[in-house]
Amino acid sequence: MTYNREEAFKKCILSLYNSTNRSIYIIDNSEGKLDDTLNWASQLSKNIKIIKNNKNIGKAASIKKHDYLLKNSQWFITMDPDVIVNNDDIENLIKSANYLLNKGYPISLLSPALNSGNNPISQQITTKQLDTHKIGTMFHLENGLYINEYLAGCLLLVNTLFYNIIGGFTQLKLYGCDDGELSKKAIQTETLSILNTNIECIHYRLDETPDYIQWKIDNIKESAENQSNYLGPINHNNTCL
């Protein structure tokens, strides 16, 4: 999902290019601001496909609009354009989700640990202050895998069957609310949200401007106010990213 932060976006795409051979769909909400960078990205690999929205409709609405792409997938990943992954992170996320699913755990969501600076995940867990995740029920399941009620949507592996059962996104806000909605639906369906602390990705924020930060604050506040008003066998192994 793109908006207009070219520096972070290029770092994100390069890291993905080096991390997976799976299909990468870039949904562009930049209204032409990133056209040159999108052309560069499309030339990196035939696995990178560009989908353009006429205007910025936000992450949740973009996924809802184009979720026909998920038809043949067991898992899909939603990812902000300011996340940097390491080699094999994507494949290891999927492997850990399949591992737990095969053991009988009803997995709906799985996320890596995210580091927004020089703050390793071991320290985050010790202080119980996660950089980008809200601590809900941090229950250690096994081998660095934690059940946590709320996961950050910066990078989120989603069970496609779960997504279809809940009817996809209903809170189609411009910014925020998407990860909170999925986490709450996981609780409601008695499925599990997992934080994999063995995989640590970078949430890149060095190119954030004061105007962009204020825009996020304003839209998160609006989303939070709206969000408070509601609560309420897979055989293939393909993943749509």
Question: How many domains does the chain contain in total?
Answer: 1
Comparing 189 with 57, which gets the higher pLDDT?
189
- The per-residue pLDDT for 214 is 66
Mean pLDDT across 97-112: 96
Q: Judge whether 48 lies within some domain.
A: no
User: pLDDT, tens digit, for every residue of 39-56?
Assistant: 999 999 999 999 999 988
DSSP secondary structure string for all residues of 1-54: -B-S-HHHHHHHHHHHHTT--S-EEEEE-STTTTHHHHHHHHHH-TTEEEEE-S
- Closest alpha carbon to 136 in 92, 95, 194, 178: 194
- Owning domain of residue 94: 72-240
pTM of the model: 0.83
Sign, CA dihedral 19-148-181-31, equals negative
102 occurs within a structural domain: yes
Q: Which two tokens stand for residue 217?
A: 């604050």
CATH number at residue 217: 3.90.550
pLDDT tens-place string over residues 166-208: 999 887 766 666 888 999 999 999 999 999 999 999 888 766 6
| Domain contains 156 | yes
43, part of any domain: no
Cβ neighbours of residue 13 closer than 8 Å, sequence gap 6 or more: 24, 26, 41, 44, 48, 81
Q: What share of the chain is helix, strand, coil (3-state, %, to 5)?
A: 35, 20, 40
